[in-house]
């Protein structure tokens, strides 16, 4: 486990954590051998024993280690020590392009083109080393404090040993190329497309395609016409508009064929922005908008099962190896191994073309087999028979949702009846307290107002008096035995079912309230009875307390996609920025592929206060008298000035709401006139007269506001 101050690799001292992601943490460290600061990316401990994660981590290091360029975050070292896998990289202090765009709303044309040139130069160096990034987006571009632009995170990059590589990498769907969205070929021109989308966002402050789901966005990349950035910002020069348009052509053949070509046009646009010099290829049927095919839809849906490109990167190495093994097997049917080695040494364009055609034919054959198998699975090739998948689809369509009602403050029996009427399953937990009447619902596991599936278990925490009956243990017992034990103590037994491979069918998995706690006699105890194991079922993990990325990783490994993610307030301050709600109860079993909705806590809801009392005169000063002109100010403890007025009559009316502080201060300022004073000096007998003076007096009065 990494700790601040520890030394790894006998040269890198960990100084502080500067970033975190789903798989790894990034630390600032001191390289004592070369006396410089570096960034150390460390694979998280929970993934270090997972071969897939370790493999992905190594692929990232190997992909970027050979690149040394001013516009690329350079990799210096990679290693493993005591189960800790790490990559040592150049330390770049700055801001991501995504945050920079958000900060400025949109960039000027000159600034956007300058950044695009630097990104292109970095990618050109990568492409010259046969490395395709495959995940170009503003989040992976850093602008240093010195204004230097650097490309980072080659986590799903792969060295290309031929002109193209087959991969299923989706990348970030807002920036993915059409060929990546279809799961087909991706090459250097895929990076050009993603850079074009990034330029579009720099120039307009928005992405060209958006939607509610990754599938919808991917389909737009394939099918919909690319909007012009001038539709949103008319002052964009024609040359820059055409550069973005050419980068984002649907067909890779109609984009720039290399980063060098793109750089030439970008530099020309800085000199002659309004000149029409960009050569656009006339669109034909292949490049025009086309309807998406069933095969495209199936491929996109398979890709959208993953939350982001991270998990795809974990599988990239295995997919690439399988691809090359298949390609080698096909080639061996026509020529022996020696001929193949000779071909590597002496590049033959004609043979390259033949190899490409063979690969396409093989892909079409495999695609046909996949369509046939998928058709049988979905009943396309079965007449009169309803398949299991279609039945499951019907079941999902029939699943109804209801709006969660407010149960906090209700009597537990009334709350149970209301939840049962909605088709929800109530689960009761008791908490001893004297602040509320026994039987009052204190908390619920689902926030009121949320739409949830019928049958969802709603856990309610109910107030109980200090006196109660100790709940006996029913866990591990048969349903009949557990019911007998609980009813003997005067409890009402509710039964729910669940899957658990470790608990025998018909035996109790868990109970609520838990054994050993006290509950009012006659209250309900819910037992969860095992239905054995189900290979198609997945047990829902506890996600509360995790950040969104860690929760996503946990669900992805179980085959459960993340559903809707919302931000809500939560009274527990320790959950701020973390998951505070999940749509399925911990330990419950759901079908693989079931979407789990999450709520991220924004922290406790801030209390507000009001002040509606009249402000009385400052009689604390004995020299104050009615009719004096007094300056009156009312200031909250957080510095907010609520009132500033001058008055000769009291009380002064005050009516303020929505105050964010519980206390405040009233300040009175007024002038006191002192009359002339005549006195005789006892020593000289001389009479001395002091002239009249005016003194400023200040009176402060602390006040408490009333909570709204």
Token pair recorded at residue 538: 């997945």
Contact 8, 81 (CB under 8 A): yes
Query: Which DSSP state fits 254?
Result: G
| Backbone φ/ψ region at 521: left (φ over 0), alpha (ψ -120 to 50), beta | beta
Residue 188 has a CB neighbour count (10 Å cut-off) of 24
Contact 661, 705 (CB under 8 A): yes
Torsion sign, CA atoms 627, 633, 637, 642: positive
Tell me how far apart the alpha carbons of residues 572 and 576 are, in angstroms, rounded to a whole number: 7
Contact 204, 106 (CB under 8 A): yes
Long-range contacts of 30-33 (CB under 8 A, 24+ apart): 31/76, 31/88
Q: What are the backbone dihedrals phi and psi of residue 441, each rounded to the nearest 5 degrees, phi first?
A: -75, 120
Distance linking the first and last C-alpha atoms of the chain: 47
Torsion of CA 350, 351, 354, 360, to 10 degrees: -120
Q: What are the backbone dihedrals phi and psi of residue 564, each rounded to the nearest 5 degrees, phi first?
A: -75, 135
User: Is 571 part of the annotated catalytic residue set?
Assistant: no
Q: What are the backbone dihedrals phi and psi of residue 261, each rounded to the nearest 5 degrees, phi first?
A: -60, -45
Helix (H), strand (E) at residue 393: helix 388-398
| Backbone φ/ψ region at 183: left (φ over 0), alpha (ψ -120 to 50), beta | left
Tell me how far apart the alpha carbons of residues 439 and 409 are, in angstroms, rounded to a whole number: 9
Q: Please tell me the number of Cα atoms within 13 Å of 51 on its side-chain side.
A: 2
Query: Cα 684 to the chain's mean position, in Å?
Result: 89
State the pairing for strand pair 158-159/537-539: unpaired
Query: Which DSSP state fits 448?
Result: T
Radius of gyration of the chain (CA): 35
Token pair recorded at residue 354: 């033949």
Helix (H), strand (E) at residue 457: strand 457-464
Tell me how far apart the alpha carbons of residues 203 and 541 are, in angstroms, rounded to a whole number: 42
Residue 433 has a CB neighbour count (10 Å cut-off) of 16
Token pair recorded at residue 622: 């004995």
Torsion sign, CA atoms 245, 250, 254, 257: positive
Tell me how far apart the alpha carbons of residues 704 and 30 are, in angstroms, rounded to a whole number: 52
Token pair recorded at residue 4: 């601040």
Which residue is it, tokens 């909250």? 636
Of 135, 153, 296, 331, the active-site residue reads 135
Torsion sign, CA atoms 305, 309, 315, 319: positive
Contacts of 649 (CB under 8 A, 6+ apart): none
Contacts of 494 (CB under 8 A, 6+ apart): 426, 427, 524, 525, 526, 527
Coil, helix or strand for 656?
strand
Among the listed residues 408, 460, 413, 468, the one whose alpha carbon sits nearest the alpha carbon of residue 436: 408
Active site residues: 135
């Amino acid at each position: 486990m990494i700790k601040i101050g520890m030394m790894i690799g006998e040269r890198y001292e960990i100084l502080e954590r500067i970033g975190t992601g789903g798989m790894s943490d990034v630390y600032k460290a001191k390289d004592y051998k070369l006396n410089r600061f570096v960034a150390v990316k460390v694979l998280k401990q929970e993934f270090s024993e997972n071969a897939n994660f370790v493999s992905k981590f190594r692929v990232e290091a190997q992909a970027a280690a050979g690149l040394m360029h001013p516009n690329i975050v350079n990799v210096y070292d990679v290693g493993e020590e005591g189960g800790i896998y790490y990559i040592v990289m150049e330390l770049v202090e700055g801001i991501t392009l995504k945050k920079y765009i958000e900060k400025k709303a949109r960039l000027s044309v000159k600034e956007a083109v300058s950044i695009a040139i630097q990104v292109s130069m970095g990618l050109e160096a990568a492409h010259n080393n046969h490395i395709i990034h495959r995940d170009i987006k503003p989040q992976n571009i850093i602008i240093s404090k010195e204004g230097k632009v650097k490309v980072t995170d080659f986590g799903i990059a792969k060295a290309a040993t031929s002109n193209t590589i087959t991969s299923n990498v989706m990348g970030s769907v807002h920036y993915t190329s059409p060929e990546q969205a279809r799961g087909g070929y991706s090459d250097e021109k895929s990076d050009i497309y993603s850079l074009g989308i990034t330029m579009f966002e720099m120039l307009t402050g928005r992405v060209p395609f958006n939607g509610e789901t990754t599938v919808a966005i991917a389909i737009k990349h394939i099918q919909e016409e690319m909007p012009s950035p001038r539709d949103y910002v008319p002052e964009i020069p024609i040359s820059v508009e055409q550069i973005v348009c050419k980068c984002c052509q649907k067909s890779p053949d109609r984009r720039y064929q290399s980063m060098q070509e793109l750089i030439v046009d970008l530099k020309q646009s800085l000199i002659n922005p309004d000149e029409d010099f960009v050569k656009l290829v006339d669109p034909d049927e292949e490049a025009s908008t086309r309807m998406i095919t069933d095969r495209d839809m199936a491929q996109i849906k398979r890709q959208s099962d993953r939350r982001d490109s991270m998990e795809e990167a974990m599988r990239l190495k295995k997919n690439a190896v399988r691809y090359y093994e298949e390609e080698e097997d096909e080639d061996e049917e026509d020529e022996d191994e020696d001929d193949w080695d000779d071909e590597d040494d002496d590049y033959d364009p004609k043979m390259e073309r033949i190899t490409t055609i063979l690969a396409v034919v093989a892909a079409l054959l495999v695609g046909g087999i996949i369509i046939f198998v998928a058709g049988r699975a979905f009943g396309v090739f079965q007449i009169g028979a309803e398949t299991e998948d279609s039945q499951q689809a019907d079941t999902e369509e029939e699943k109804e949702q209801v709006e969660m009602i407010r149960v906090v403050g209700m009597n537990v029996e009334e709350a149970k009846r209301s939840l049962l009427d909605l088709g929800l399953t109530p689960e009761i937990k008791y908490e001893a307290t004297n602040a509320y009447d026994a039987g009052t619902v204190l908390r619920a596991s689902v926030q009121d107002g949320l739409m949830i599936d019928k049958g969802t278990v709603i856990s309610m925490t109910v107030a109980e008096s200090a006196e109660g009956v100790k709940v006996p243990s029913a866990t591990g017992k048969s349903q009949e035995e557990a019911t007998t034990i609980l009813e003997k103590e005067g409890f009402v037994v509710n039964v729910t079912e669940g899957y658990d491979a470790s608990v025998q069918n018909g035996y109790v998995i868990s109970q609520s309230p838990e054994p050993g706690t006290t509950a009012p006699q006659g209250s309900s105890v819910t037992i969860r009875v095992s239905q054995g194991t189900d290979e198609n079922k997945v047990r829902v993990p506890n996600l509360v307390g995790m950040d969104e990325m860690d929760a996503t990783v946990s669900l992805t490994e179980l085959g459960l996609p993340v559903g809707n993610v919302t931000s809500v307030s939560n009274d527990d301050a320790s959950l701020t920025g973390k998951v505070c709600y999940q749509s399925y109860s911990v330990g419950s079993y759901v079908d693989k592929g079931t979407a789990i909705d999450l709520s991220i806590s924004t922290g406790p809801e801030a209390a507000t206060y009001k002040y509606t009392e009249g402000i009385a005169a400052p009689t604390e000063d004995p020299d104050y008298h009615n009719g004096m002109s007094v300056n009156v100010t009312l200031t909250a403890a957080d510095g907010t000035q609520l009132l500033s007025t001058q008055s000769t009559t009291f009380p002064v009316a005050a009516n303020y709401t929505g105050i964010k502080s519980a206390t405040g201060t009233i300040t009175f300022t007024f002038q006191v006139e002192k009359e002339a004073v005549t006195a005789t000096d006892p020593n000289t007998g001389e009479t001395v007269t002091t002239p009249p003076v005016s003194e400023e007096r200040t009176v402060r009065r602390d006040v408490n506001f009333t909570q709204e």
